[in-house]
Amino acid sequence: MTTYHLDDTSVLLGRSLRHITRSMDTIITTTIMPIAFMLLFVYVFGGAIDTGTESYVDYLLPGILIITIASGISYTAFRLFLDMQSGIFERFQSMPIARSSVLWAHVLTSLVANLISVVVVFLVAVAMGFRTGANIGAWLAVAGILVLFTLALTWIAVIPGLTAKSADGASAFSYPLIFLPFVSSAFVPTDSMPAPVRAFAENQPVTSIVNSIRALFAEQPVGTDIWIALGWCVAILVVAYAVAMAIYRRKIS
C-alpha cells in the first residue's frame, strides 16, 4: 500500500473499530461457541479420547483457536453486507479516497476482533489446565500462523459480504469452515478415522495448521507441517483476495 492508501485505510479502520467497541456482544458471541466446545470435549468426551500422554486440553486448544477464527469472520461478511446495503460505498466513491481502503478496513477490523477472541479463549484454556513451555520463537510462529489464517479466511468472508442477497446468507457461509476442524486432527488423531475420512482429514488445511501449532506449543519438531500450513494459508489468501477485489471492482464500476 502507498502512504495515500494507508492514511485512508487507517481512517476507515478507526470507523470500523468504533463499531466493534459499541457492540462488544459480537466478540462475546464469537467466543461462547468455541469455549462451549472446549468445555464439552475436555470434561465430557476427553476421558474417552486417547491422545497418548498429552493432556487433552493441550491437544484440543489449537483446533479450538481455529474454530474461534472461523466463527468470528462471519461478522466480517455481515458488517460488509450491511455497508453495501446502506449505500455507504456509493458515498465513498464520491470522496477522494482509495477504493481498496474500504475493504482493507473491514479486513483489519476482523483481524483485531478475532485476535481479541483468540486471547479470551486461550485464557479460558489456561484456567482449564493448558500449559506450554514454548519459547518466544515458538509463540511468534503460532501468532504468525493465526494472523495469516485469519487474513485468509477474512478475505474469503469478503466475497459473500459483497455478493449475498441477505444478511443471513452473508454470515451463513462460515458454517462449513467451522465444520472443517471436526474432520481433522483437531479433536482426535487421524489414525482412528476410517480410511476415506482419514485421507480427507490428512490432506485438508486445518490438519497441518493444527499439527503445527500443537507441535510449537509442545516444543516438538514441526517437520513439514508448518510449510504445508503456510502454503495453504498463502494460497487461500492470494486466491480469495484476487476474487474479492475482482467482485468489488465490478460492484463499484
Gyration radius of the chain over CA positions: 19
Instruction: Provide the pLDDT for residue 251.
Output: 73
Instruction: Provide the pLDDT for residue 162.
Output: 84
Q: What Å distances lie between residue 214 and 39, 137, 151, 166, 237, CA to CA?
A: 19, 14, 20, 38, 22
Instruction: Provide the pLDDT for residue 25.
Output: 62
Range of the domain at 84: 3-252
Question: Residue 69's closest CA among 144, 149, 186?
Answer: 149
How many folded domains does the chain comprise? 1
For the chain, the average pLDDT equals 83
Instruction: Provide the pLDDT for residue 118.
Output: 93
Instruction: Provide the pLDDT for residue 87.
Output: 61
Instruction: Provide the pLDDT for residue 232.
Output: 95
Question: Residue 175's closest CA among 46, 77, 39?
Answer: 77
Q: What is the pLDDT of residues 73-85, one digit of tens each?
A: 888 888 777 777 7
Instruction: Provide the pLDDT for residue 4.
Output: 44
Q: What is the pTM of this model?
A: 0.86
Instruction: Provide the pLDDT for residue 136.
Output: 94
Residue 124 to residue 118: CA distance in whole angstroms: 10
pLDDT in tens, the chain (253 residues): 445 455 555 655 555 656 666 666 666 777 888 999 999 988 887 767 767 667 889 999 999 999 999 988 888 888 777 777 766 655 555 555 556 677 778 888 888 888 888 999 999 999 999 999 899 999 999 999 999 999 999 999 889 888 888 877 777 777 888 889 999 999 988 888 999 999 999 999 999 999 999 999 998 988 899 999 999 999 999 999 999 989 888 877 6
